[in-house]
Amino acid sequence: MRSRIVIAKRKQARLRPPYLAIAGLAALFAAGDHAGATDRRSERQVESIESRTAGEPVMAIVSLHSQRVIVYDAQGWILRAPVSSGQKGRETPAGIFSVIQKEAEHYSNIYDDAYMPHMQRITWSGIALHGGVLPGHAASHGCVRMPFDFAERLFDATRLGMRVIVAPSDVAPVEITHPVLFQPKPGAGVLAATRTAEADEATRKADRAKLAAGTAYREVAQAMVPVRSAENLTHRAEAQLAAAETALGSAASAEAKENAERSKAQVAARIVDLQVQLAAAKAELQPKLDALASARDAAAVAETARVAAAEAARQVAREREPVSVLISRKTQRLYVRQAFEPILESPVTILDADRPIGTHVFTAMERTNDDGNVRWTVVSLDDGRHGGAVEPQVRARGDHARDVEPMPTDPISAKSALDRIVIPQDVLDRIAGIAPRSSLIITDEALSSETGKGTDFVVLLSGEPQGGIKMRRRGPGDEFSYARSRGRMLYWRSPFALPFSNW
């Protein structure tokens, strides 16, 4: 069941024209009102699932044919809205991407400082999803424009790494099972829980060891007081003894000598008593010093164990993070990336390698239980080499195309592709445990040059127009060149220019 949700209309600024307005300016305002009305109609076409509680978005599929984006969670679609993709000559490239950067307030340094609110970048060369004007057809310079309020809503719901598929046609994921599809390593969940419990226990032991060392230190500090006191009194008495000996040596009379000898004897006796006290205090201190040394050693050992246990827990946790695996028929290789970083690359066997295999995106949607298998879906993409390419002006079918439900992927084709894949066992053993949001991509294509630092796999369908990406060649530091300060004011074009820029 679904329901249409009417997004609140944005407040429109109304300008009263001057009494003697020129005809060109009046025509410009008329064009702007028309575009604004078109955008408001687009926002009324935003849909949201109501029959269940929507989960976190897992993937978004942009259909170039129907000019629509549909967002899926683990159970099915949750949001969909019209879009405006790249116009002819600047087409949004069809292929496989992921969200690699998010910026709520973004301005382009390529297209007249164009405002691109709630930007979610999918290539470092500048292709992104963002809020924008929707004229009802493909009109951008390669990005995917979405209704402003929908872009904000989607921005708040997604996170980095969400899969974005730009499909030439209308296609929907279907559930699939196959022996080649990766599954979590047996006992991975139990192992993760065990490592976490071990790390927690090691932390508690380290804390207790630190407390014991602190207690031992305080006891040593207390036991040092009588030792220091006895040492100070002994030093003072020894100074007094030296003074008495000097006085005795300089005494001129018998009475003076007698007094000096008596003082010397008293001081000597005092020194003997103090030495006894010092020995007793040191005897009481020594066990506490030994206990402190032992406590510090134990604390050091416990801290080492804590660090090792924490690292083991982190390693297991990392292995349970989503991984992306790509198998390319063109290169005959298997690639693995995790957290936007390359992990593994290896040769792979594709049976009947001279025959096309297609492009298929398999996604692990959710765990079937706490420590069991994951449920997979697949989206298969067609391209121009198989007769599936449609020119942008034909793709934009307007409201009628968006009313048509997307065609579910044919699982037979996807299973046939999986049947042709042979992955060596040693490679399987090296692939980290599969978790929800993990993916397996099988494609005829090679990796796009857009795949690199800070990206997941980027695959472009070579049989489809790619004008929008050919104009945006990636260069050093491009990933930072589009950012603008949040406090920066919008730059509006001259009123005599086009009413809306092509973003």
What is the helix (H) or strand (E) element at residue 422, kind and residue range? strand 421-422
- Range scoring the smallest mean pLDDT among 28-37, 238-247, 306-315, 325-334: 28-37
Mean pLDDT, the chain, rounded, equals 82
Kindly state the average pLDDT of the residues 262-284. 90
Contact 441, 362 (CB under 8 A): yes
Predicted pLDDT of residue 386: 42
Predicted pLDDT of residue 109: 61
Which residue carries 């279907």 as its tokens?
174
Q: For the chain, what is the largest distance between any 2 Cα atoms, rounded to a whole number of angstroms?
A: 133
pLDDT band at 202 (very low <50, low <70, confident <90, very high): very high
CA–CA dist 410, 383 (Å, integer)? 15
Predicted pLDDT of residue 395: 42
- Phi, psi of 115, deg, nearest 5: -80, 125
CA–CA dist 269, 175 (Å, integer)? 97
CA–CA dist 224, 167 (Å, integer)? 78
Predicted pLDDT of residue 460: 96
Which residues 6+ apart lie within 8 Å of 251 measured at CB? 257, 259, 260
Predicted pLDDT of residue 472: 60
Tokens of 184: 């979590």
The answer, yes or no, to whether residue 132 has pLDDT greater than 50, is: yes
Q: How many CB atoms lie within 10 A of CB 123?
A: 28
Kindly state the average pLDDT of the residues 270-278. 90
Contact 162, 96 (CB under 8 A): no
Q: What is the pTM of this model?
A: 0.71
Residue-wise pLDDT for 87-111, tens only, equals 999 999 999 999 999 999 887 765 5
CA–CA dist 440, 360 (Å, integer)? 8
- Higher-confidence residue: 317 or 366? 366
Kindly tell me the sign of the dihedral angle through the C-alpha atoms of 456, 185, 375, 436: negative
Instruction: Give the residue from 123, 155, 130 showing the smallest Cα distance to 57.
Output: 155
The answer, yes or no, to whether residue 144 has pLDDT greater than 80, is: yes
Instruction: Give the residue from 314, 371, 77 showing the smallest Cα distance to 199.
Output: 314
> In this structure, what DSSP letter does residue 19 have?
T
The percentage of residues in the chain with a pLDDT greater than 70, rounded to a whole number, is 78
DSSP per-residue letters across 287-344: HHHHHHHHHHHHHHHHHHHHHHHHHHHHHHHHHTS--EEEEETTTTEEEEEETTEEEE
The answer, yes or no, to whether residue 56 has pLDDT greater than 50, is: yes
pLDDT band at 287 (very low <50, low <70, confident <90, very high): very high
CA–CA dist 159, 81 (Å, integer)? 19
CA–CA dist 240, 234 (Å, integer)? 10
| Length of the chain in terms of residues written | 503
Predicted pLDDT of residue 484: 38
Cα 399 off chain centre by: 36
The answer, yes or no, to whether residue 473 has pLDDT greater than 60, is: no
Contact 440, 359 (CB under 8 A): no
> In this structure, what DSSP letter does residue 457 have?
-
The percentage of residues in the chain with a pLDDT greater than 90, rounded to a whole number, is 57
In the chain, count H helices and then E strands. Answer: 9, 23
State the SS3 of 190-241: HHHHHHHHHHHHHHHHHHHHHHHHHHHHHHHHHHHHHHHHHHHHHHHHHHHH
CA–CA dist 395, 388 (Å, integer)? 11
The answer, yes or no, to whether residue 339 has pLDDT greater than 80, is: yes
The answer, yes or no, to whether residue 480 has pLDDT greater than 60, is: no
pLDDT band at 317 (very low <50, low <70, confident <90, very high): confident
Q: What is the dihedral of CA 188, 193, 196, 202, to 10 degrees?
A: -110
Q: How many CB atoms lie within 10 A of CB 383?
A: 24
